[in-house]
Structure 1
Amino acid sequence: MPTATLPTVTPVEHPEWSECGVGAEVQGIDLASLSDDEFKLLEDALYKYKVLIVKPPSSGDRLSPVEQFDLVCRFDPTAKREHGHGDPKQSAAEFKGKKTLLEKPGIPPIPIQPEVRLIGHGPQEARWGLEEGLVLSQVSHTMWHKDPLSAEEMLAGFTRWNRWHIDASFMKRAPPIVTTLHALKVPQGSELTLRWDDGSGKEMKIQAGTTAFLDGAKIYSLLSPEQKLMVENSKVVYAPHPFRKHAACRGRSNGLGQVSEGLEAPLEDLPPWEDADVLTYPMLWTSKTGEKAFQVHSIAAWKLLVKTSPDAEEQVIDDIEEVRRIIYELQRPALEPKFIFAPPYTEGDCVIFYNRGLMHCATEYPLKTHGPRTMHQAHVAGSSHPV
């Protein structure tokens, strides 16, 4: 009788990500049939390493969308069983055909489990109720960056960070605790050179189509004592319908926040909203382990409530250009290659990441040189708000 493989959790080591502080590889666990002990091991590892790359028990094993959604719900069992951004059809109707930053090209719900979304590039297989001949387009930085790369630069092997963010839709919905990405097909071919293009000259090599991560605790650790004191006592106010309000705004070339060009939609042009739709969160979020992470969604931020110390008078900063400048100044020191975890994925991997302790970012690649990509993504709005 063969001996069962014991679960192992191994921190990922790589010279280029030498100080990223996150990432572990998990083997010997079947996510489709987790025991309570195995789930506890997985949950403990998640809060320690924040990004888990769970390898399939064998090369042909894949999670079904139903199994993947059950897995993500297990991390927040009292949460409402729906995708963290809600029903995409309701969302589209709510915005009356107007584009938002959450209406991305080629991210349809999977028919047998609509709470799981299909993320991909190129032709997709007709599985799980998906239609024949489905071809998806990736989210491109050219749709958002103020000064994007040219098509020639992309074909020459250069790419960008698209948009650093936290999975969150706001508008009464709490950010998901956990997000999962299941890799069914990954791009092949050579690595790409990712450029910051922000005047720093920074660049790094990445696998085509990877999702990268930036640790919120690392961002916090790099702040000066004065900055730490400020963020420990300050809050962020998120706009009503934030991704509609900022839909026309364009992003920085390093993917970290937006430039201010007066393109924000006025409040009176937004769909109906009420005071409860305006969420105010602390700048620091605390995990189950007590670790504090600087977690600010720069794209959705509207105002800052700043206190430089516990006893200081609160200052309301509502000039959007100043709001973005302050957030960028706090986040930018961590946007360095050695702090970014950009792991390569193999087919069958399930990536589980702690959404409330990280920022993450997609990257794009040329379909012509690297082939199609298929990922299943799932998360649920949190059952409680960050503390």
Structure 2
Amino acid sequence: MTLKTSPISSNPHLSADFGIMIDLSSYPDGVFDPMQMSDQSFAELEKLLYTHSLVLWRGVKLTPAQQLRLTKLFDQASNSYGHGTETSGLQSKSILHPDLKTLPEHPQVQLIGNGQVTDEAVAPGLKPLPVLKHPHHKTFHKSVISDEDEEKGYTRFYRWHIDAALYGLNPPKVTTLQALRVPAGPPQICRYDDGTGDELTVPLGTTAFVSGQKMFEILPPELKSLAVRTKVQYSPHPYVWMSEAKAKPNGLGIECEGKELPRDKLPPYEESKIKTFPVLWKNPVTGLLHLEVHPCGAEKLIIEPIPHHTKASRNPQALYPDGATVSDLEVVREILYKLQRPGISPAYVYAHDWKENDLCLFHNHGVLHSVVGAFKPDQHRAFWQCNIAASDEPVGPDSADVKRYS
């Protein structure tokens, strides 16, 4: 079976192959059922995902079990929800805590959205039916858009991130999002408010995606050299650690105000579970490098020196040519911002226009994404989100990559 596909975006600034839509006529009777997927069909889907980073189906209605099956096909050795099942009372301080409702029969599937759920089919097993809360930048950003401007339709990116616990568990390879209820409304204008004047017109309640491969590709040589040699160490329990801190106005990282929780105020942690990942993650199909960092949770950078055999021809503007461990949080954030900010410029953002019964599968090791926008209390939105912690760590650059970019 050959899948019938079409591009999801005509934006010339995105990677030429970013995003693909699969036509339901590709399947028997026009029905996509992950439970019935053959090995050959999955191999074709897997190649599509890792080539295009994001796969979309329209007009799909999966059960939670089917959505979990689709997600798990990409990593059958794992079964744990991507953020685990922390039971410490201190985890209630996590910035993720208010936004997720776990489906009891399928704890890897989370109900997210906005407003009062009135349909049991949206929230199976949840009693009473919950009120959902769409993340709003006013709860997380240091500066906020005025009420007057919000009424005019201005909004912000909430938080640029990869789906990952960043402590104890490995980042999920993929995430699936299924749109169950999508409210209608006019577009909004997403303001960066970072001094650039950048703005982007977006559909109401969009999910914004950027390619980690493009984010790396557009960097100047000295920043590519730095990225290929750098690893990021994340804080233990990073979502609790950052719970009193505030984000930058474009959602790309945290403002340095000293509000991160000290270690003795965090839930108990083990040094062996603290995660350190490379800045660049290698795509298993294309071999390309994707810049994949969760800037909010980063605590330290470990920079390797430029290899001896490339020093004679190295760029005289090379940064940290002899390597370094950077533990000054302000410097850590400055470096990551220089690496990542170009890649979230408006030209490189794909803002998905959600329709009811959209199913989106994205390569979590290949993109960054952000919640965007604001809903009124009576605008009901409901999605199922599913990801599972990866059974292995992301693969970083190999020696040939380091030689090429150093």
Same fold (TM over 0.5): yes
The answer for the alignment partner of 1:36 in structure 2 is: 39
The answer for the alignment partner of 1:114 in structure 2 is: 107
Superposed CA offset, 1:209-240 (max 9, x none): 11111111111111111111121111111111
Matched, 1:294 2:302: no
The answer (yes or no) to whether the contact 2:302–2:325 under 8 Å persists in 1 is: yes
The Cα shift of 1:6 comes to 6.2
The answer for the alignment partner of 1:52 in structure 2 is: 55
Change (3 A) 1:132 1:268: closer
Correspondences of 1:1-387 after superposition (within 5 Å): 7-15=3-11, 18-21=13-16, 22-28=18-24, 29=27, 30-32=32-34, 33-56=36-59, 61-79=60-78, 81-87=79-85, 91=86, 93-96=87-90, 98-103=92-97, 105-124=98-117, 125-127=119-121, 128-289=124-285, 290-307=287-304, 309-311=306-308, 312-367=321-376, 371-387=379-395
| Distance in 2, Cα, partners of 1:101 & 1:138 | 13
The answer (yes or no) to whether the contact 1:20–1:340 under 8 Å persists in 2 is: no
> What TM-score results when the alignment is normalised by the length of structure 2?
0.87
The answer (yes or no) to whether the contact 1:170–1:277 under 8 Å persists in 2 is: no
The Cα shift of 1:376 comes to 0.2
- Please give the secondary structure, in 1, of the residue aligned with 2:196: coil
| Distance in 1, Cα, partners of 2:211 & 2:43 | 22
- Please give the secondary structure, in 2, of the residue aligned with 1:342: strand
The answer (yes or no) to whether the contact 2:232–2:299 under 8 Å persists in 1 is: yes
Comparing 305-314 with 253-262, greater Cα deviation is found at 305-314
Q: Which amino acid aligns with 1:296?
A: V
Q: Which amino acid aligns with 1:309?
A: I
| Distance in 2, Cα, partners of 1:107 & 1:241 | 17
- Please give the secondary structure, in 1, of the residue aligned with 2:93: coil
> What TM-score results when the alignment is normalised by the length of structure 1?
0.91
The answer (yes or no) to whether the contact 2:115–2:377 under 8 Å persists in 1 is: no
The Cα shift of 1:7 comes to 2.8
| Distance in 1, Cα, partners of 2:268 & 2:377 | 43
Change (3 A) 1:71 1:248: same
| Distance in 2, Cα, partners of 1:41 & 1:255 | 35
Change (3 A) 1:18 1:223: closer
Q: Which amino acid aligns with 2:53?
A: K
Superposed CA offset, 1:166-207 (max 9, x none): 111022200000000001111212111111111111111111
The answer (yes or no) to whether the contact 1:181–1:350 under 8 Å persists in 2 is: yes
Change (3 A) 1:39 1:275: same
Structure 1: runs of 5+ lacking an equivalent: none
Identity %: 34
Q: Which amino acid aligns with 1:55?
A: R
The answer (yes or no) to whether the contact 1:241–1:270 under 8 Å persists in 2 is: yes
The answer (yes or no) to whether the contact 1:295–1:359 under 8 Å persists in 2 is: yes
The answer (yes or no) to whether the contact 1:233–1:310 under 8 Å persists in 2 is: no
Superposed CA offset, 1:251-295 (max 9, x none): 011111111001111112222222212221111110112110111
Comparing 281-290 with 374-383, greater Cα deviation is found at 281-290
The answer for the alignment partner of 2:315 in structure 1 is: none
| Distance in 2, Cα, partners of 1:243 & 1:97 | 8
Q: Which amino acid aligns with 2:66?
A: E
The Cα shift of 1:95 comes to 4.1
The answer (yes or no) to whether the contact 1:230–1:308 under 8 Å persists in 2 is: no
| Distance in 2, Cα, partners of 1:374 & 1:198 | 31
State the Cα RMSD in Å: 1.8
The answer for the alignment partner of 2:316 in structure 1 is: none
Change (3 A) 1:269 1:130: closer
The Cα shift of 1:368 comes to 5.7
Q: Which amino acid aligns with 1:277?
A: K
The answer (yes or no) to whether the contact 2:81–2:388 under 8 Å persists in 1 is: yes
| Distance in 2, Cα, partners of 1:266 & 1:355 | 29
| Distance in 1, Cα, partners of 2:283 & 2:383 | 27
| Distance in 2, Cα, partners of 1:359 & 1:97 | 24
